Structure 1
Amino acid sequence: MFSEPEREVSQRMLPAFAEAGDQLNVTMAAAPKSWGWQGRTLSGRVEASDGPAWLRLVHAHADRSSDKLWDGPRTAESCMPTAVPRPRLRQRLTWTESSDSYLAELYDLVSEPTVTTDGPILRHRPDLSGAWWTSLRTALDTVSAVPTDRVAVRQAYLDRAMPQFLGQEIDTTVPAWSTAHGDLHWANLTCPTLTMLDWEGWGIAPAGFDAAMLHTYSLLVPSVSAQVRGHLDHVLDTPTGRFAELVVITQLLQTNSRGDNLELAGPLRQRAGELLVDSI
């Protein structure tokens, strides 16, 4: 999904990936590996004793290896209903070397591609069937009802960030909370059959957060953002859904301030303006 990181990172991650393969008794496939953002993760196809699988390696500094991102996939495996389409987690191991901690996860192989392969932003209209959209709506409704004490978005963050990045004082009190995948963008969804990938950050968020995130990452393709609104209107076309959109826009405007997702900057400001006018 992302380009290979700087040499220091790749020289640390590649041997750790090989070590994970040895510990899990899998054989590396010849297919290219996939790097995550800034080399934080490294993934690739492997052959296990029970068939093809996907090995994912995560790096964190040792003092961060117990945070919610580290434990997300394991808790999703135990808490999410089987009706939610996701790769099943087969095995998991962790180890620490000096100040570096590693998490290796072995998943069932998902053979279908993600909707986007170059990051979360949608730039072209994908060919998504009505059945795909129905599956997505059902999955998000199912996820939203899962009880959890995990937190994906905190009220304290919204109190601080929404006025700062939206440029005006607004009521930041979340009108309703529900459980969310937490990172529902186009590079975490497969097609033509829906699978939802990357469960690191799931937890409680403003109701409608997942739908709002998918809509926001679709802003460069208006026909698809309209599809998102149409298929998920029961979530988005509500006061809570519009608030969730402002939450996601706040998060992405913050990434703009760090130099990321800059092509979305104009559409984000435009959509925020529309939502803020409607809320008056």
Structure 2
Amino acid sequence: MYSEPDPDIAERMRGMHATAAAVLDATPIGSREAWGWRGRTLSRPVATASGEGWLRLVSAPADKAGGKLWEGPQEAERLMPPAVPRPHLRGRHTWTNGEHGYLAELYDRVTVPTITAHEPTLRKAPDLDDTWWDALSTALDAIVTVPSERVAVRQEYLDRAMPQYLGMEIDTKAPAWTTAHGDLHWANLTGPTLTILDWEGWGIAPAGYDAALLYSYSLLVPTTAAEARRRLGHILDTAAGRFAELVVITELLQTTTRGDNLDLEKPLRRRLSEITSAQPAVRGAGAE
């Protein structure tokens, strides 16, 4: 999704990816590389005895290698129902080398492209039919039924960040909490056939969080934003859904202070104004 990192990071990650391929009996094929943010991940298509796969390597400082993000895909493989389309996890391997820890995950290869190639934000309208939108709605409804002790969004964050980045006093108590994918943006969705990728950070979040995140990342393409709102209205057009939008707006406005998502700031603030003009939507447990 991101560009190739600095040469020293790229060289280290390519070397460790080769190590992972050897351990998992996989052979990289072709020259395609998919980089994560600042070279944190490197993924490549591979050949295996059971068919083509996708080998994803994750890197973290050795003292931070493990925990929720490390275990997310494995837990998703164990707990997510068939109504949630995602690549099957075939195998995994973890190790430490010097200052870095590594997680290698071997997945079934998904040949359908992601809707955006390099970033979460949508910049042109995708050609998605009723089947795709119905599959997404079904998947989101299925995800919320999965019991989990994993946490994607913390109440402590809402208490601290919402007043700061929304610029107002606000009831930060979510009307409800449900299980969420936690990173449902356009670079983690494939089309024209739906597959949901990247299950690192799934867990409990304010109800409606996934739909709110996808909608917010659609705001630069009003036709798709309107379509998302129409298709996911049963989630978004509720008190919980509006609160989830405020949570997502908080998070994305915070990223603008670091120089990210700058072109989303104006539409996010416009949407914030629309939501907060209806006072019940601002109060955490307001009526429908």
Aligned equivalents of 2:279, 2:10: Cα separation in 1: 47
Match of 2:243 in 1: 243
Q: For 2:265 and 2:38, how far apart are their aligned partners in 1?
A: 21
Q: Which residue of 1 aligns with 2:54?
A: 54
Q: State the one-letter code of the partner of 2:116.
A: T
> How many Å separate the matches in 2 of 1:126 and 1:82?
25
Q: How far apart are the structure 2 equivalents of 1:89 and 1:66?
A: 18
Question: How far, CA to CA, are the matches of 1:113 and 1:31 in structure 2?
Answer: 16
SS in 1 for 2:151: coil
In the TM superposition, what is the alpha-carbon distance from 1:67 to its structure 2 partner?
A: 2.3
Comparing 174-183 with 3-12, greater Cα deviation is found at: 3-12
Query: What's the % identity of the aligned pairs?
Result: 60
CA-to-partner distance for each residue in 1:198-239, whole Å, 9 max, x for gaps? 000100000000000000000001111111110011100001
What does the per-residue CA deviation read over 1:17-53, in whole Å, with 9 as the maximum and x for residues that have no partner?
A: 1101111111111131110011000001000110000
Runs of 5+ consecutive residues of structure 1 not aligned to the other structure:
none
User: Post-superposition shift, 1:279?
Assistant: 2.6
Q: What secondary structure is seen at the aligned counterpart in 1 of 2:123?
A: coil
Residue 191 of structure 1 corresponds to which residue in structure 2?
191
Task: Output the CA distance in 1 between the equivalents of 2:3 and 2:207.
Answer: 33
Superposition map of 1:159-238 within 5 A:
159-238=159-238
Establish whether residue 15 from structure 1 lines up as the match of residue 10 from structure 2. Answer: no
TM-score of the superposition, structure 1-length normalised? 0.99
Please tell me whether residue 4 in structure 1 is matched to residue 4 in structure 2.
Answer: yes
Shift, 1:274, TM fit = 1.1
User: Would you say how many aligned residue pairs link Structure 1 and Structure 2?
Assistant: 280
Q: Which amino acid aligns with 2:60?
A: A
Cα RMSD, aligned residues only: 0.8
In 2, Cα distance between the equivalents of 1:187 and 1:141?
A: 20
Between the aligned partners of 1:49 and 1:278, the Cα distance in structure 2 is 58
Q: Which residue of 2 aligns with 1:275?
A: 275
**Distance (Å, rounded) in 1 between the aligned partners of 2:270 and 2:241:** 17
Q: CA deviation at 1:112?
A: 0.2
Runs of at least 4 residues off by over 6 Å: none
Q: 1 CA distance for matches of 2:140 and 2:83? A: 11
SS at the partner of 2:45?
Answer: strand
Paired residue type of 1:54: W
CA distance in 1, matches of 2:268, 2:279: 16
Q: SS at 1:179's partner residue? A: strand
Aligned pairs for 1:52-201 within 5 A: 52-201=52-201
In the TM superposition, residue 83 of structure 1 has moved relative to its aligned partner by 2.1
Amino acid in the other structure paired with 2:224: V
Residue ranges of structure 2 left out of the alignment (5+ in a row): 281-288
Give distance in 2, aligned partners of 1:33 and 1:279: 48
Q: TM (normalized to structure 2)? A: 0.96
How much does 1:118 deviate? 1.8
Q: CA deviation at 1:11?
A: 1.8
User: AA paired with 2:35?
Assistant: W
Quote the offset at 1:277 in angstroms: 1.3
Counterpart residue type for residue 186 of structure 1: W
2:260 corresponding residue in structure 1 = 260
Question: 1:63, 1:279 → 2: CA distance?
Answer: 45
